[in-house]
Structures are given as structure tokens and as C-alpha cells.
């Protein structure tokens, strides 16, 4: 019954006209939407409307939550969801937004007693309890394809949410096909990336991808959507694996050299 009521409510929300002001915000801050076909653009609009109706946005550190903040984040997150039917990140309850990069206290025990304490700068993070934290300037940079066009804190953190749908963040999202085969090929790509990084050779991904399987998947997903041609040139096998995972082929729609 609850599922039926939820789906009915979502259909009602999707049927409402998409505000023109939101379209203007999308044109400014979600460059991906420009390259979608008309039916995909409409699908994205409907997804955004449902997402904004269901999620709580909270400003941190003096950040003011406006329609620009909400629509910009939802628009970028919705690009990921285009390949999934009725995926609205149901486990996500709130999106926390800072006016800039923020500090998180860290503590590491030392051999022999005591501990090393410091403040770590964060751009974003995903909490298993149902929240995503984002730095607003980084959100804008990703949506406008700055930073060389390969980074997006929204795509990064929301890819972790997809990764978690079948359990922990392990770099293997829910898949329709052979999960073990996909995971084995992904390990090959990660190993190849780490060898190239150690040898000082060209790599298509940010160094942070070497932090572990979950981060490799998230960083590769950033490049997959932000600059798919770069990823396909750098590692065609990795591109194909992500095309299977996300059920999309952004290389077919994104210009070869998107301008930020």
C-alpha cells in the first residue's frame, strides 16, 4: 500500500509543469542537460521535480539554500539516474551544503600511545545514515565543466549512493549481467591504472582513484560523464564497463571537447 501511494504521488508530481526558472538554472549550472535528447531532457525534469519534493536540503556554515542550489544539485544527480527506472535514492534523506570546502577532524592512533590529530579538507562525502555533504563551489564547477571537465563532486558522491544499493561501497554497483565477471574486469582496469600512476605514465583519472575500489569507481564515473571521450581514449575497457553499469553512453551525446 505504501509503495502504491508513493508511486501515485510521484506520478502526480511528474505531471506538473516544470518551472521556467528551473530550466534557466539548468542551462547555467547543468551543462549535461544541453546534450540530452528531448525525451531524456523531459525525463530529467520529471526526476528533478520528484527528487526535490522528497529530499531535505540543509545549509551548513552559513550557507543559504535557494532554488539554484537545489536544482543544480538535483540536475546533476539526475543525470546518473537516467539509466535506472524509478531510482530516486530512497535511502537518502538529506543533502547538506557548505558555502565552500569544509574541515573534518581526523584522529589516528600512534604506536606507543597518543594520537595524531588534524583537520582534513573535504569537498564532499557520503554518509551511510542517509546524507550527502557537498561544497557548493565544487557543485557549480562540476555542473559548468570546470576543472578540466573531469571532476564533479555531485556525480562522485551520488555514484557512491548507487554503489551502496546492493550493500557497502565496494566499487561494484547493482548489475543486470554477470557481477563476478564485471568485477574482475574492473579490477584489471584498477590494477592497470595503479601501475601507470606509479610509472608516471598518462592516466585519464584523478590520482584519488587509487584510494580503493569504491573511490576508483566514483572517480571513473566522474570522468565517464564529464569527459567520456577522454576516458574512452585512456581506457576503452573501463569506459565499456561503466557504460554497462550506468546503462548510458555519454560519448554518443557529449561533444568531443566540451567547453567549461
Which H or E run includes 115?
Answer: strand 115-122
The confidence band for 203, taking pLDDT boundaries of 50, 70 and 90, is confident
The confidence band for 58, taking pLDDT boundaries of 50, 70 and 90, is very high
Q: What's the sign of the alpha-carbon dihedral 192, 167, 4, 8?
A: negative
The values of phi and psi at residue 214, to 5°, are -65, -40
Whether 148 shows a pLDDT value over 70: the answer reads no
pLDDT digits (tens, 9 = 90+) for 219-246: 999 999 999 999 999 999 999 999 999 9
Q: Check residue 212 and give left, alpha or beta (phi > 0: left; psi -120 to 50: alpha).
A: left
Angle at Cα 93 formed by Cα 92 and Cα 97, nearest 5°? 95
Whether 259 shows a pLDDT value over 70: the answer reads no
Does residue 245 sit within a domain? yes
Does residue 6 sit within a domain? no
Whether 17 shows a pLDDT value over 60: the answer reads yes
CATH code, domain carrying 74: 3.40.390.10
Average pLDDT over residues 23-44: 96
The confidence band for 72, taking pLDDT boundaries of 50, 70 and 90, is very high
Higher per-residue confidence, 128 vs 1: 128
The values of phi and psi at residue 114, to 5°, are 80, 180
Does residue 109 sit within a domain? yes
Provide long-range contacts, Cβ within 8 A and 24+ apart, for 35-42.
Answer: 35/253, 35/254, 35/255, 36/82, 36/253, 37/253, 40/82
Sequence-distant (6+) residues with CB within 8 A of 65 are: 57, 58, 59, 97
Does residue 161 sit within a domain? yes
Whether 255 shows a pLDDT value over 90: the answer reads no
Ranges of H-type helices in the chain: 2-14, 20-29, 38-54, 67-81, 136-143, 153-163, 179-199, 213-226, 228-234, 236-246
The confidence band for 99, taking pLDDT boundaries of 50, 70 and 90, is very high
- What per-residue confidence (pLDDT) applies to 83? 93
What is the chain's mean pLDDT, rounded?
A: 92
Considering only 50-64, 80-94, 142-156, 200-214, which range has the smallest mean pLDDT? Answer: 142-156
The confidence band for 149, taking pLDDT boundaries of 50, 70 and 90, is low
- Work out how many domains the chain is built from and give that number: 1
- What per-residue confidence (pLDDT) applies to 85? 83
- What per-residue confidence (pLDDT) applies to 260? 47
C-alpha cell at 255: 561533444
Is residue 218 a contact partner of residue 242, using CB atoms and an 8 Å limit? no
Average pLDDT over residues 187-191: 97
Radius of gyration of the chain from Cα atoms?
19
- What per-residue confidence (pLDDT) applies to 1? 63
Residue with grid cell 573511490, as numbered in its chain: 215
Could you list the residue range(s) of the whole structural domain that residue 156 is in? 14-252
Tell which residue, 207, 233, 209, has the closest CA to residue 219.
Answer: 209
- What per-residue confidence (pLDDT) applies to 3? 82
- What per-residue confidence (pLDDT) applies to 27? 96
Secondary structure (3-state) at 57? strand
Q: pTM of the full predicted structure?
A: 0.93
Does residue 198 sit within a domain? yes
Does residue 55 sit within a domain? yes
Ranges of H-type helices in 55-133: 67-81
Whether 258 shows a pLDDT value over 60: the answer reads no
For residues 220-256, b (16+ Cβ closer than 10 Å) or e, as one string?
bbbbbbbbbbbbbebbeebbebbbbbbebbbbeebee
Amino acid at each position: 500500500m505504501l509503495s502504491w501511494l508513493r508511486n501515485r504521488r510521484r506520478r502526480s508530481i511528474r505531471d506538473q509543469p516544470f518551472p521556467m526558472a528551473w530550466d534557466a538554472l539548468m542551462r547555467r549550472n547543468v551543462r549535461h542537460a544541453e546534450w540530452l535528447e528531448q525525451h531524456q531532457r523531459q525525463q530529467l525534469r520529471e526526476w528533478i521535480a520528484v527528487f526535490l519534493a522528497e529530499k531535505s536540503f540543509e545549509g551548513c556554515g552559513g550557507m543559504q539554500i535557494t532554488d539554484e542550489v537545489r536544482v543544480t544539485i538535483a540536475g546533476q544527480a539526475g543525470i546518473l539516474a537516467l539509466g535506472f527506472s524509478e531510482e530516486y535514492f530512497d535511502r537518502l534523506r538529506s543533502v547538506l551544503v557548505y558555502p565552500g570546502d569544509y574541515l573534518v577532524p581526523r584522529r589516528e592512533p600512534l604506536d606507543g600511545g597518543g594520537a595524531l590529530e588534524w583537520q582534513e579538507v573535504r569537498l564532499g562525502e557520503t554518509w551511510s545514515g542517509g546524507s550527502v555533504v557537498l561544497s557548493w563551489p565544487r557543485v557549480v564547477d562540476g555542473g559548468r565543466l570546470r576543472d578540466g571537465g573531469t571532476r564533479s563532486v555531485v556525480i562522485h558522491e551520488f555514484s557512491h549512493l548507487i554503489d551502496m544499493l546492493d550493500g557497502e561501497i565496494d566499487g561494484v554497483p547493482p548489475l543486470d549481467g554477470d557481477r563476478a565477471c564485471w568485477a574482475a574486469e574492473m579490477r584489471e582496469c584498477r590494477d592497470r591504472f595503479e601501475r601507470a600512476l606509479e610509472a608516471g605514465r598518462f592516466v585519464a583519472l584523478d590520482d584519488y582513484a587509487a584510494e580503493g575500489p569504491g573511490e576508483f569507481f566514483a572517480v571513473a564515473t566522474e570522468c565517464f560523464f564529464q569527459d567520456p571521450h577522454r576516458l574512452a581514449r585512456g581506457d576503452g575497457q573501463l569506459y565499456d564497463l561503466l557504460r554497462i553499469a550506468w546503462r548510458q553512453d555519454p560519448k554518443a551525446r557529449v561533444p568531443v571537447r566540451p567547453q567549461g
